[in-house]
Amino acid sequence: MTIEATMRQPVTPHSAAGLIIHPAWVRVTHWINALAILLMIGSGWQIYDASPLFGFVFPRQFALGNWLAGALLWHFAAMWLLVINGVVYVALGILTGRFRRKLFPIYPREVLHDLFAALRGRLAHDDLSVYNAVQKLLYLGILLTGVVIVLSGLSIWKPVQFHYFTSFFGGYDTARYVHFAAMTAIVAFLVVHVTLAILVPKSLRAMIVGR
């Protein structure tokens, strides 16, 4: 019996402690993705500081690369790590049926119900193998945001070679704003994600050991 098939078996009190919540491929790609995202954010902030879009810059102690050329090297290296790891994660998520089971269906009424429950501190996390409606929406949203940030990044990196992407985003300058907005969404997601991991430490343990 495969790990994914095991996840579909009924959970009893005797087997709950040994339930595989996150198979090995999910845990490995998750932590590789976390590293790639942090490298891209830090180097991206340094790149932003070289040509700010708004009236502020990011503190140097939070940026990566020390200067523009160094930041670009870090950014491109992390980009390949993010894309390759992301392709593996999405492919396995689709092929194993994990995305279908975990992220769908999503009903607006359930999202509103779980959102209000979360705001009141009454959202239960007893069964980590089942995502609530807010989690489904956030995880699906961050996957789509990942696609947007990669495509807008290609538009900025190679605006001539990837002119179809650049045109889709409304031109080079607009693509920069889209890229920045996607980065902001990812940072906001990370803040919520880390906060919930602290509030529900067993979710972090599950992403480390799988159970």
- 166 and 73 part of one domain: no
What pTM did the predictor assign? 0.86
Q: Tell me, what's the pLDDT at 1?
A: 42
Q: Give yes or no: residues 30 and 122 share one domain.
A: no
Above 60 in pLDDT, residue 54?
Answer: yes
Q: Is residue 137 part of a domain?
A: yes
pLDDT reading at 9 higher than 60: no
Instruction: State how far the alpha carbon of 143 is from the alpha carbons of 75, 107, 146, 147, 209, in Å.
Output: 20, 18, 5, 7, 23
Task: pLDDT band for 18, please (50, 70, 90 cuts).
Answer: low
Task: Please report whether residue 157 resides in a domain.
Answer: yes
Number of domains making up the chain: 2
pLDDT band with cut points at 50, 70 and 90 for residue 20: confident
Question: 112 and 64 in one domain?
Answer: no
Indicate whether 4 belongs to any domain: no
Residues 28 and 110 in one domain: no
- Asked whether residue 147 falls in the same domain as residue 45, the answer is no
Instruction: Give domain status of residue 120, yes or no.
Output: yes
Domain of residue 63: give its range: 21-52+59-81
Indicate if 131 and 70 belong to the same structural domain.
no
- Is the domain of 122 the same as that of 197? yes
C-alpha triplet 39, 58, 179: angle, nearest 5°: 60
Q: Do 113 and 209 belong together in one domain?
A: yes
In a domain, 110, yes or no: yes
> Do residues 69 and 127 both lie within one domain?
no
d(CA 118, CA 132): 10
Residue 90 lies inside a defined structural domain of this protein: no
94, part of any domain:
no
Range name among 113-122, 149-158, 166-175, 177-186 with the lowest pLDDT average: 113-122
